[in-house]
Chain A
């Protein structure tokens, strides 16, 4: 199972008329659809200084607000911008992916993609390791906003959105157990997916995926080269 191999359509791809499109185009990265632009403009006007940074990202608006304005941003989005629909709330851990332990000795998960070692932050930046981000949509306007805020590592807290969007309840419980930051004002932060006695926060980057570390990925064992392919190609592919 050469999972990295692109489909056997490579020969067809060679004659594809729009071959030039394979070149990465920078332009769609910074576009903003009209609906999202209108929402962004209103939010910026209302929040003022509480917005740290905003950016356009593939037609969407990404707004990073100060942690103390997180709840206020939700209120404004819900009450004034008409974003009545909560899509999700989730966390991000920007810590660079640690090298898999034991990978050098030939065990462990050598098939996992190698991520860059340096810390970089995504669209609209981040002040530190942890962030919360959420997506709200307006069912009338057919447009939405992506909101982000930073979590200070000494408090590991941010305001809960439950009072604005009741659906935030489960999303915040999930983010709490997966990342370990708490939501002030949440009615009952208890485990959602994990058993009550579970220790650790699985989606943190330093939480190892043990099943993948104690033994090599089974998919690697029976790799056979594709017809017309050098036997060593696949390892090279993973390394690249």
Chain B
């Protein structure tokens, strides 16, 4: 609005006019000039709420979303093609970079696939250590979520807590593998190394800290009325539709589907030997997704403590040939990644590298529901829905 469009004061009639009338005049003028039809808003590709380069083209009517189209592929690295050019031991390096927050959990299904095709079984101690590190990655990934979800609704403090406590867990992973994010620690037939000296005691201490941290988040975030208002009944995923879209992991469990691949897939790692519970929430909204992940963080910490107690002794590598050649065959291995179902369909023709690897990553399918999920929501809720789905761009784009 420009003031020059208003009648200049000099032309005003002599009578004293209430200034409020001018305000109404100005408003009327704005309403005429503004187009109230659809508006296209391009969110991203670099938007703080997308953790990377996801672009959302959103068609708006006022504050409401009419249609949303996620544009992905800004970070497509072609891993499925690259795996056809590399050997099995080299591929673990590649797949570390798919979901970079829980790299260790990415390696496990692929190494399992190769081991199954070769008929090798990792020794019990290696299986236990793998389970510990997988759960530690889960805790680290979820702690970041628990903090960062608060940030998306305007609470700064939880983010600091989340990053701080995740660092303790990452230090543990670094102590074992030498890398905070890309451990590349699995070997076909076992692991590169054993736990370092003093790891068990340190790990127990950090798990206690994780429990405390979860309590803090429960008080600070879940108990916060503003957080509830921003997340309750926002972005509800119906269980049947979520499953048909391929939404998996905590996102699906938050819709009340009692399905956890650690329990329901072909048995892998040491989960059968542990006493644990699958958490579900009937609501299916962003709040439920936060709640489920919070419970799962605690459950993972409990699992780690049990694993440390029952840690078997023995070697950490099975006997494997000097050159890894995988016999011809194909196998599907899917596991519960922190973000959902992570699976590899490995087809081998008996060479040192696979013939074809289909990488099924969790975030890809989790995000594919966005066009449906964002329909009809308000613009500020886009951000909380994105944060609540919790995806990693590398896991979408592969």
Pair B343/A16 contact, Cβ less than 8 Å: no
Whether B23 sits at the interface, judged by CB under 8 Å, is: no
Q: Write the A198-219 contact mask toward B (1 if CB under 8 angstroms, else 0).
A: 0000110101010010000000
A29 CB contacts on chain B under 8 angstroms: 329
Q: Which residues of B contact A21 (CB under 8 A)?
A: 119-121, 318-319
Check if B355 sits within 8 Å of A12, measured CB to CB: no
Name A7's contact: one of B81, B192, B243, B368 (CB within 8 Å): B192
Binds A, one of B161-169, B245-253, B381-389: B245-253
Contact B85 A112 (CB under 8 A): yes
A191 CA to B111 CA in the complex, in Å? 31
Q: How large is the interface on A (under 10, 10 to 19, 20 to 34, 35 or more residues)?
A: 35 or more
A86 touches B244 (CB 8 A): yes
- Residues of A52-70 at the interface with B, using a CB-CB cut-off of 8 Å, are 57-60, 62
Partner of B319, one of A13, A170, A205, A209: A13
Nearest chain A CB to B342's CB is how many angstroms away?
Answer: 10
Q: Which residue of B lies closest to A177 (CB)?
A: B73
* Chain A residues in 8 Å Cβ range of B120: 21-22
List the B residue with the shortest CB-CB distance to A169.
Answer: B368
The answer to whether the Cβ of A84 comes within 8 Å of any Cβ in the partner chain is yes
> B306: which A residues are within 8 A, CB to CB?
none
With contacts A113-B351, A116-B350 known, is A84 near B315, CB below 8 A?
Answer: no
Q: Is B332 an interface residue (CB 8 A)?
A: yes
* Complexed CA–CA distance, A181 and B322 (Å): 40
Residues of chain B within 8 A of A194, CB atoms compared: 73, 76
Residue contact B358 to A88, C-beta cutoff 8 Å: yes
List which B236-259 residues lie within 8 A (CB) of chain A: 240-241, 243-248, 252, 257-259
Contact of B259 among A23, A60, A139 (CB under 8 A): A139
Q: Which 6 A-B pairs have the closest CB atoms?
A: A113-B353, A142-B264, A9-B317, A167-B245, A193-B73, A139-B259
Query: Could you tell me which B residues sit within 8 Å of A by CB distance?
Result: 72-73, 76, 78, 80-82, 84-87, 89-90, 116, 118-121, 123, 187-192, 240-241, 243-248, 252, 257-259, 263-266, 314-325, 327-332, 334, 341, 343, 345, 347, 349-353, 355-356, 358, 360, 364-365, 368-369, 372, 397
Which residues in A have some Cβ–Cβ distance to B below 8 Å?
3-7, 9-10, 12-19, 21-25, 28-29, 33, 57-60, 62, 78, 84-88, 90, 92-93, 97, 109, 111-116, 120, 122-123, 133, 135, 139, 142, 146, 164-167, 169-171, 178, 191-195, 202-203, 205, 207, 209, 212, 237-238, 240
